[in-house]
Structure 1
């Protein structure tokens, strides 16, 4: 039975333990730390095939994901299995009555991987840097000012921010030493159980144990995180080249089902596979054309066949077992209905070339997607085939630079995967994707009523009211067929049976931890 994603955020003030600043310590050199790490582990190594990345700098867009996944960086709060924020690098926190002053009490004894103490001043400097370079972080955190005093950090927000604790779970809020000389893209100095030994963008990241980790002794001396061609993952695991694989293609996963030498773990996530529609396209500016396209998407078949049973048909952008999806309705699969709707809009194949046209313009679209999510090209091909059956031309491009293409407005449709509850709360996703001018509103969707409701949501602390506002916003987007929300992903992780402590998480943030181990 799937767990519910929704967890109530406790906004009551915690009983704070007011800590004093800890004494100074002598930073260890990288060489000293590495040597120390080797002495505290058993010389064991694990090879993990997972997504690569062009940077690990938490402040740079979404680059903080590999920083956390690789066990290098950590956040002040951490999401539990119910996607509820829990204290992590903090002992306690307090919120003022006007909900605009947050006092965070940092755990004593935490050090960065260069030996420097992680105190309030270090956290302040890190968050200031992130807010200054990351539009999404600035929008989510709403920080007006910060004051540091020993292990106490006081954050003043620009407005009431009901979800600051949630937002501080986001990988962009990963706490790193921003005063370190190391390049933050290739060697961020975090507080996690593992520190970067070497980094090759989008190819391999080698991390070694940090012996002075505040949360215990790492079980492994070294972990190699390699970015393999997904089609070779199954063979690499069978041959012993790797010990674990994240997001292995579905046909490969089938090889390990029922095999006692391996473990196949799955978890339901909020990652939605969706279609963006570009409102700047003359055809897609027509709501009935978008509706007709949505009628061509057989979500059930996509989940069962294209995604090999690992896709759950979606209504809206949030999973069905959350209060954010209750009672929503969306356009359903209806091939004949799509044909009729386009005919009503005046589309016909007037020149017998097999493509519908209107006023001399073919109903033809450029669809762009990417391959780091193996399902996306497959879903794009299925959609392309359905469109072709009724006379719509869709040209599919698979690109590693999809965000550059989207931001340059050089697309008509985009198949995209997006985690919709990245911090357990829906507001970040909706502001960024539904809000007029939002940073990930690539299709230029704009709805004045949605913008009004978003503003109301952003200041609402009552969880039931937040859920109701969310449903209203999503339904308005569904009524316009502004997007097509196809399927939610059930994430998989395949490991040797000897691997422990490597478990998929509903947030999709956490992978390598202090408990990750291999017993052979």
Structure 2
């Protein structure tokens, strides 16, 4: 190999050239060219968010991540007061609550430039019902006809709740023709929607990167893109906000709020939501199939302690499935912790207290498996508090933490109860939760609840249009749920979100659907 010798002059020339290349490289990455001879130093605007639930794919018909990240949209949506308004559908009408006409906006294209029309909406809804069995039941669609920008839907029965059901994120509209071109697996990770952002890169259960849709029909997005990460560890989420690695973080742990609040660059938003934290009972389990046992367990929930000590005031004790502040919420007194009464009810169910202070029947102690998950940081704490109070009544509770509660509860039958959280009135109405959590085809009815009187009321509610009557029916349904202790409602939690003050024109909303919006901006 030939030897190379550097003179001082050659070395200076080489270093100078290297410096020029370095500066040019930096310049090309941080500025954009304008007119000839001019440059602007406008950096791209991006935000980083962290959600608490993992997302195995981006299929909008089986998950909420696509609508939350601004990739997809539905025909109708909720406004800030939880009232229905048009979104991809400009307006809708019906004469008999069976035949419905939806006027699809005429100025919308999918991310790939394909025009949105009624035929495209029809194909998307057909796909959603094919891949999501529960959706087919909740929509009650008998047939659909598409002509130009008009979609006509005929339901199997009088169904005034159809418009609110079309707010469901699972009904997000996508270009199914694009799926046929790229294949199901590719499409599931990068659906072609109509939203202000499109998928740039997706890593299952880790993160999704989106870039702005320059042709977005409602107006150009204010930011260029976003990274949305998934992390179920509440402490990791909180630290990411504090270290400024993330701009918006959902489901912060209540105990971490004080430290975050001391940082002048950060704000904590605690918003009253439409959600309930509760205990699910598996009525396939003989341990909790007796209503007397469920009544006893209901008395072992310290609702005040959960609201004050676990949620640190960012929740209200619950008295039923729907927040008492809603028109269809119950006015019942909040059930207090009552160990003595719980032991009496267990006695009525055939249990006796043994020498060790444990309740048993036929020589077998009452031992319950409780499922919980850490994506919502307060739920494992609620499980631990319940475990402690249950033991005072002689009931042993064994806590099992799982990564994916929905999958575990659906695929297993040997659990007894579970901490759970659900948006019980996401559309300003209780029918969605009643249909999905208590009917035999409901996606949330993992405990196989079957109460004939409740089924009758839900069916009547589905046929009723009068608002006042719907409120009365919903309250009646809630009364029956409490009477049978189908669930045990603990608290109505606030939505706790950490926000970096560089984020502008954005607030968390009660329905938890519309998170990354085209109006969100950064300083």
**Same fold by TM-score greater than 0.5:** yes
Sort the Cα spacing of 1:461 and 1:291 in 2 relative to 1 into closer, same or farther, 3 A. same
Partner residue, 1:148: 146
Give the conservation status (yes or no) of the 8 Å contact 2:285–2:414. Answer: no
User: What displacement does 1:136 show?
Assistant: 2.5
Partner residue, 2:92: 93
Deviations 1:17-52 (CA, angstroms, capped at 9, x unpaired): xxxxxxxxxxxxxxxxxx9xxx9x951111111233
Show the 5 A alignment for 1:297-308.
Answer: 297-308=301-312
- Structure-2 separation of matches of 1:437 and 1:90: 28
- Structure-1 separation of matches of 2:447 and 2:386: 18
Give the conservation status (yes or no) of the 8 Å contact 2:373–2:379. Answer: yes
- TM-score by structure 1 length? 0.88
User: What displacement does 1:354 show?
Assistant: 4.4
- Structure-2 separation of matches of 1:326 and 1:243: 38
Give the conservation status (yes or no) of the 8 Å contact 2:292–2:348. Answer: no
1:333 aligns with 2:315: no
Q: SS of the residue aligned with 1:315?
A: coil
Q: 1:58 aligns with which of 46, 57, 60?
A: 60
User: What displacement does 1:366 show?
Assistant: 0.6
Partner residue, 1:27: none
- Structure-1 separation of matches of 2:97 and 2:347: 54
Q: 1:255 aligns with which of 254, 259, 264?
A: 259
Comparing 279-288 and 244-253, the one that deviates more: 279-288
Show the 5 A alignment for 1:47-446.
Answer: 47-51=48-52, 52-60=54-62, 63=63, 65-95=64-94, 97-180=95-178, 181-182=181-182, 183-228=186-231, 229-257=233-261, 259-328=263-332, 331-350=335-354, 352-407=355-410, 408-436=412-440, 438-446=442-450
- Structure-2 separation of matches of 1:437 and 1:243: 39
Q: Which has the higher helix share?
A: 2
- TM-score by structure 2 length? 0.87
Partner residue, 2:47: 46
Q: SS of the residue aligned with 1:368?
A: strand
Give the conservation status (yes or no) of the 8 Å contact 1:437–1:444. Answer: no
User: What displacement does 1:493 show?
Assistant: 1.6
User: What displacement does 1:502 show?
Assistant: 3.1
- Structure-2 separation of matches of 1:389 and 1:328: 26
- Runs of 5+ unmatched residues, structure 2: 1-31, 33-39
- Structure-2 separation of matches of 1:346 and 1:197: 60
- Structure-2 separation of matches of 1:318 and 1:56: 30
User: What displacement does 1:250 show?
Assistant: 1.3
- Structure-2 separation of matches of 1:42 and 1:79: 34
- Structure-2 separation of matches of 1:436 and 1:107: 36
Deviations 1:486-517 (CA, angstroms, capped at 9, x unpaired): 11110022111110133211111111000111
User: What displacement does 1:117 show?
Assistant: 0.8
- Structure-1 separation of matches of 2:299 and 2:316: 17
Sort the Cα spacing of 1:280 and 1:326 in 2 relative to 1 into closer, same or farther, 3 A. closer
Deviations 1:339-376 (CA, angstroms, capped at 9, x unpaired): 232234442332x3442211112110011122211111
Q: 1:494 aligns with which of 498, 501, 523?
A: 498
Q: 2:474 aligns with which of 445, 470, 480?
A: 470
- Runs of 5+ unmatched residues, structure 1: 1-34
Q: SS of the residue aligned with 2:189?
A: coil
Deviations 1:61-103 (CA, angstroms, capped at 9, x unpaired): xx1x1101111111111101221110111222221x2221111
- Structure-2 separation of matches of 1:114 and 1:42: 26
- Structure-1 separation of matches of 2:431 and 2:90: 26
Give the conservation status (yes or no) of the 8 Å contact 2:340–2:393. Answer: no
Q: Which protein shows a greater Rg? A: 2
Comparing 389-398 and 179-188, the one that deviates more: 179-188
Give the conservation status (yes or no) of the 8 Å contact 2:137–2:441. Answer: no
- Structure-2 separation of matches of 1:124 and 1:244: 35
Give the conservation status (yes or no) of the 8 Å contact 1:275–1:413. Answer: yes
Comparing 289-298 and 400-409, the one that deviates more: 400-409
- Structure-1 separation of matches of 2:273 and 2:476: 22
Give the conservation status (yes or no) of the 8 Å contact 1:436–1:447. Answer: no
User: What displacement does 1:258 show?
Assistant: 5.7
- Structure-2 separation of matches of 1:264 and 1:311: 15
Comparing 245-254 and 390-399, the one that deviates more: 245-254
- Structure-2 separation of matches of 1:198 and 1:394: 43
